[in-house]
């Protein structure tokens, strides 16, 4: 009997439930590997901008930890194969986008969005080209990261009487490393629980040793992995490995960035997501840390982009397109990149909002030769990227130069671009 007394309340609750249901019916799921302090903070700026405009939509931030996407990509593949795609996911331009997602038809064209937003005028033609096939763009690109930067702890080097000017040669770096070794300080910071992180130091050393043209030749078969200059690059990489912190295999890339900031190691050859992390840890550029191009790679810009897709048959296409529109917004790109340590993909961002490092990166991008990275999936097919990671895992432990070079030459040949 008592139930009747509560009937009006129950009916009201049921009605409210239906209303809530309608509200939460609207959702959008974004899949990334941005979980380090700076990555998560930068992503939040984008999500906040979306929430401010679309407060009624339930935003699902599906991030899978693991720098470079090493853990996220296999999980995403399983979801795509199972017909359960997120609405949008993070990926890099070039091979990764094309071979993992465009060829198997997992992504929808964004041409209408580009036309409607006037983005063909606001993103450079070369960038649009990198994310298009047959004239159809498949990504909204948020940022341009530079992968070949050498970071250093300024006070630590000053303590040892070392001042770094505008550039540093490999011999100078190795000379400093020897003197730091006498003081028991590892020169090179490394955190390679994800093997891709040491892969960056390899790739940076490779391009710094053989130059951008010969580096590009690796991906069209005009340079062989067993050529003398590539063997020299492997040798140089090995010499840098000799100076890395002993606990490198137990640390992630961002833990190594923390180590750099704390002065437990001196240099870090790593993409400029490190800038984001150092700033996030409260350090000040040009005071607590400095940077130069990785030795030998001054005129080269190893380019890493982060872009977002629209899933074919996305569960929530309208909300996803709204999200992509927000990602392409100028102010959103500025806010995001200030925290992420990258420069805008759009060409009309306000330069004066950015500090010395990011302005340096803008100039280097404008003046230099931009080349794709293999470690971040852009330069070579995914099979070769995996083979390189395996070869690196062996090399870091065994240091067999010849076996390393030969395995890469074999894999390049198998992938169809080697000699
Ligand atoms: C890259 C990505 C960057 C950065 C880095 C470390 O693949 O493009 O945005 O987050 O991984 O996780």
Q: Which of 40, 68, 90 to mutate to test the pocket of ligand 1 (most atoms within 8 A of CB)?
A: 68
Distances (CA, A) of 291 to 106, 119, 163: 39, 33, 11
Q: Which of 126, 79, 147 is nearest to 294 (CA)?
A: 147
Q: Whose CA is nearest to atom 2 of ligand 1?
A: 68
Tokens standing for 329? 């917004």
Superfamily per CATH, domain 26-145+303-366: Periplasmic binding protein-like II (3.40.190.10)
Centre of ligand 1 to C-alpha 301, Å, is 16
Query: Do 149-296+380-415 and 26-145+303-366 fall under one CATH topology?
Result: yes
Centre of ligand 1 to C-alpha 91, Å, is 10
Q: Which of 71, 195, 271 to mutate to test the pocket of ligand 1 (most atoms within 8 A of CB)?
A: 271
Domain layout of the chain by residue ranges? 26-145+303-366, 149-296+380-415
Count CA atoms within 13 Å of residue 28 on its CB side.
Answer: 21
Count CA atoms within 13 Å of residue 204 on its CB side.
Answer: 28
State the Cα angle at 416 between 413 and 418, rounded to 5°.
40
Q: Whose CA is nearest to atom 7 of ligand 1?
A: 68
Centre of ligand 1 to C-alpha 273, Å, is 7
CATH class of 149-296+380-415: alpha beta
Centre of ligand 1 to C-alpha 33, Å, is 8
Centre of ligand 1 to C-alpha 343, Å, is 13
Q: What averages of pLDDT result for each successive group of 10 residues across the chain (419 residues)?
A: 35 36 76 98 98 98 96 97 98 98 98 98 98 98 98 98 98 98 98 98 98 97 97 98 98 98 98 98 98 98 98 98 98 98 98 98 98 97 96 98 98 91
Sign of CA dihedral 295, 300, 304, 305: positive
- Output the pLDDT for position 3: 35
Centre of ligand 1 to C-alpha 378, Å, is 13
Closest atom, ligand 1, to C-alpha of 304: 8
Rounded to whole angstroms, the Cα distance separating 117 from 113 reads: 6
Centre of ligand 1 to C-alpha 67, Å, is 6
Contacts of 316 (CB under 8 A, 6+ apart): 26, 27, 28, 29, 87
Rounded to whole angstroms, the Cα distance separating 239 from 363 reads: 30
Report the pocket of ligand 1 as residue ranges, CB < 6 Å. 33-34, 39, 67-69, 145, 253, 273, 304, 306, 376
As a whole number of Å, the end-to-end CA separation of the chain is 86
Centre of ligand 1 to C-alpha 197, Å, is 10
Beta bridge partners of 58: 27
Q: Which of 31, 306, 375 to mutate to test the pocket of ligand 1 (most atoms within 8 A of CB)?
A: 306
- Output the pLDDT for position 25: 86
Q: Whose CA is nearest to atom 8 of ligand 1?
A: 306
Closest atom, ligand 1, to C-alpha of 34: 10
Centre of ligand 1 to C-alpha 192, Å, is 14
Q: Whose CA is nearest to atom 11 of ligand 1?
A: 68
Rounded to whole angstroms, the Cα distance separating 9 from 24 reads: 22
Q: What is the dihedral of CA 300, 385, 43, 349, to 10 degrees?
A: 30
């Amino acid at each position: 009997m008592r139930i009747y007394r509560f009937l009006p309340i129950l009916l009201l609750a049921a009605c409210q439930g239906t209303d809530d249901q309608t509200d939460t019916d609207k959702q959008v799921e974004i899949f990334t590997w941005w979980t380090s302090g700076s990555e998560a903070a930068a992503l939040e700026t984008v999500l906040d901008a979306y929430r401010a405009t679309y407060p009624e939509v339930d935003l699902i931030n599906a991030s899978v930890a693991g720098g470079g996407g090493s853990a996220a990509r296999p999980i995403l593949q399983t979801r795509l194969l199972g017909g359960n795609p997120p609405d949008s996911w993070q990926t890099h331009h070039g091979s990764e986008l094309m071979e993992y997602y465009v060829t198997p038809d997992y992504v929808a064209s964004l041409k209408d969005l580009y036309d409607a937003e006037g983005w063909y005028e606001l993103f450079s033609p070369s960038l649009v080209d990198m994310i298009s096939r047959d004239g159809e763009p498949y990504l909204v690109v948020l940022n341009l990261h530079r992968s070949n930067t050498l970071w250093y702890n300024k006070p630590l080097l000053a303590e040892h009487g070392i001042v770094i000017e505008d550039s540093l040669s490999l011999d100078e770096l190795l000379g400093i490393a020897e003197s730091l070794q006498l003081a028991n300080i590892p020169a090179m910071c490394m955190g390679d629980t994800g093997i891709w992180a040491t892969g960056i130091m390899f790739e940076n050393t490779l391009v710094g040793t053989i130059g951008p043209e010969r580096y590009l030749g690796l991906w069209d078969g005009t340079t062989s992995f067993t050529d003398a200059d590539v063997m020299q690059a492997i040798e140089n990489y090995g010499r840098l490995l000799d100076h890395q912190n002993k606990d490198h295999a137990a640390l992630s890339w961002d833990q190594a960035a923390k180590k750099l900031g704390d002065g437990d190691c001196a240099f870090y050859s790593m993409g400029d997501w490190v800038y984001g992390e150092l700033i996030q840890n409260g350090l000040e550029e040009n005071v607590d840390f400095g940077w130069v191009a990785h030795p030998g790679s001054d005129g080269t810009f190893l380019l890493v982009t982060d872009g977002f897709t629209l899933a074919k048959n996305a569960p929530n296409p309208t909300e996803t397109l709204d999200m992509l529109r927000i990602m392409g917004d100028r102010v959103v790109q500025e806010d995001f990149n200030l925290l992420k340590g990258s420069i805008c993909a759009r060409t009309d961002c306000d330069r004066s909002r950015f500090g010395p490092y990011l302005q340096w990166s803008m100039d280097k991008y404008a003046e230099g030769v931009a080349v794709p990275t293999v470690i971040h999936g852009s330069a070579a097919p995914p099979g070769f990227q995996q083979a390189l990671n395996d070869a690196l895992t062996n090399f870091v432990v065994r240091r067999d130069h010849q076996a390393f070079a030969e395995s890469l030459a074999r894999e390049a040949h198998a992938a169809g671009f080697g000699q």
